[in-house]
Amino acid sequence: MDTTAVLSEKIPGFPGYADADSRRLADEEVRAYLGEALAALSDRLGPAVGPLIERLESTLLRAEFMNHTAFKPFESANLDEGHKSAMAAADLAVVDLADRSTSVDAGSLASYLDAITAGLDARDRLMECATS
């Protein structure tokens, strides 16, 4: 099964990357999937996160809003199959991280947030290097 098909199983109706509208929706849905997991994690851990609360909230905020600087070149680029495949892999990595949120505790939160930041940074780099 290809990566986009796996994403479609986890996010029903996942639009893929064929055009600007589908790319915008794909970005929104991946970020929403992550955001829901982070919100549930925040609710579950509550005060146990201690000094990491600001970092968790900042990561949640990043998931809520599109990085317009990164998305702009990606939106209308003529993507080859390799770039679409790489983007799907980066999106799936973020979705897989979101799925891991249920096993995160206060002791593993910092490394989990590091992994999410790295995953979102990887997505941004892929979007930024898209060319028309």
Report yes or no on 48 lying in a domain: yes
| Residue ranges making up the domain that contains 77 | 3-7+18-128
Report the pLDDT value the prediction gives residue 132, as an integer from 0 to 100: 55
Report yes or no on 66 lying in a domain: yes
Report yes or no on 105 lying in a domain: yes
Report yes or no on 51 lying in a domain: yes
Residue 11's closest CA among 35, 36, 30? Answer: 30
Report the pLDDT value the prediction gives residue 71, as an integer from 0 to 100: 93
Report yes or no on 13 lying in a domain: no
pTM: 0.94
Counted domains in the chain: 1
Question: At 54, is the secondary structure helix, strand, or coil?
Answer: helix
Report yes or no on 12 lying in a domain: no
Tell me the residue length of the chain.
132
pLDDT in tens, 81-96: 999 999 999 999 999 9
pLDDT at 76 over 90: no
